[in-house]
Amino acid sequence: MRKRILMIGTGGTIASKQTENGLKPGLSSEDILSYIPQVEQVCEVRTMQVCNIDSTNVTPEHWTILSKTIEEQYDKYDGFVICHGTDTLAYTASALSYMIQHSRKPIVITGAQKPINMDVTDAKTNLLDSFIYAADDESQDVNIVFDGKVIVGTRAKKVRAKSYNAFESINFPYVAVIQDGNIIRYIPTIPHKSRVRFYHEMKNSIYVLKLIPGMKADILSYIFKDYDCIVIESFGVGGMPESIVHEFYEQMSAWKEKEKLVVMTTQVANEGSNMTVYEVGQKVKQDFDLIEGYDMTLESIITKLMWIMTLPGLHFDEIKKTFYQTMNHDILFKEN
């Protein structure tokens, strides 16, 4: 029996039309689907439009809409394909990995670098590949299908602004590739034993501070005052420059009493952080028992923290334990 797949449209380049002010989402899900009639040989598709926006404008509220929509339709379909703009696609894939956990049914997110109504476009291939993957018996969880590659939802990063191979999998292998309509799997699927679980809240009181050489320390007091969580993108494997250390210690001492969160990560995309390697990182981490991102992507760190901050009654040790718990392959390193 053919699989029933729900295609959910959100806008993005794949759905865009040319206007006098540039590309703007305007095609409906039905319009997009009409460009790949071959899908009838793969699965039965129904469509739904939840918004039609440029992905630059995506917010946590849109992630809530998607998680609620999939929960409402979950028992009616065998899988889901979400059409999305590429600019924030990795954030949405990470967010849904935490908002929809243990899904035995595949939730595939795709998009394109050029609109589907153009003569030369990657949209048709990406979309058809997504349905092929969503209709396969071994597929599950949240994944991105793009340029013939299947990337775990928590491991994707957009690394090219224009090229068709826009996304790479960071610190984790591709789940599979799709060639000529065939799925070649690199990682075997282990079916979930737990029931699917949905969450519909994300707390966005979070700030990402990217360190630069010679940074002034006065920015810290503002950020520490106005946000509940700060993610610090440090250099290399991780460290704190002397120019901001004193102010950082002042702010962290006050923050410890309020049980707010600071998470250290690296600006380097591949191979992850390890603050214990150098003196500039080791002392800061030990003094404040900092959470560290290790091999996680920035997108997964941010969205995981947004999800964790909505969980009721968690103290720091519980937050730390939850952060280091592996979800949809988001973290390999295990801290003792």
Whether residue 35 contacts residue 118, with contact meaning beta carbons closer than 8 Å, is answered with no
**Pairing, β 149-152 against β 16-19:** unpaired
Do 132 and 2 touch, CB atoms closer than 8 A? no
Q: Phi/psi of residue 36, each to 5°?
A: -130, 70
Whether 107 contacts 71, CB under 8 Å: no
146 beta partners: 149
CB atoms within 10 A of CB 146: 28
Pick the closest to residue 264 from 247, 252, 250 (CA basis).
252
Residues assigned a catalytic role: 13
Q: Of 228, 184, 235, which Cα lies nearest the Cα of 212? A: 235
Sign of the torsion formed by the C-alpha atoms of 200, 204, 205 and 210: positive
The strand pair at 229-234 and 261-266 is best described as parallel
Say if residues 290 and 239 touch (Cβ distance below 8 Å). Answer: no
CA nearest to 25, candidates 111, 153, 144: 111
41 phi, psi to nearest 5 deg? -85, -10
CB neighbours of 217 closer than 8 A, spacing ≥ 6?
A: 243, 244, 246, 247, 248
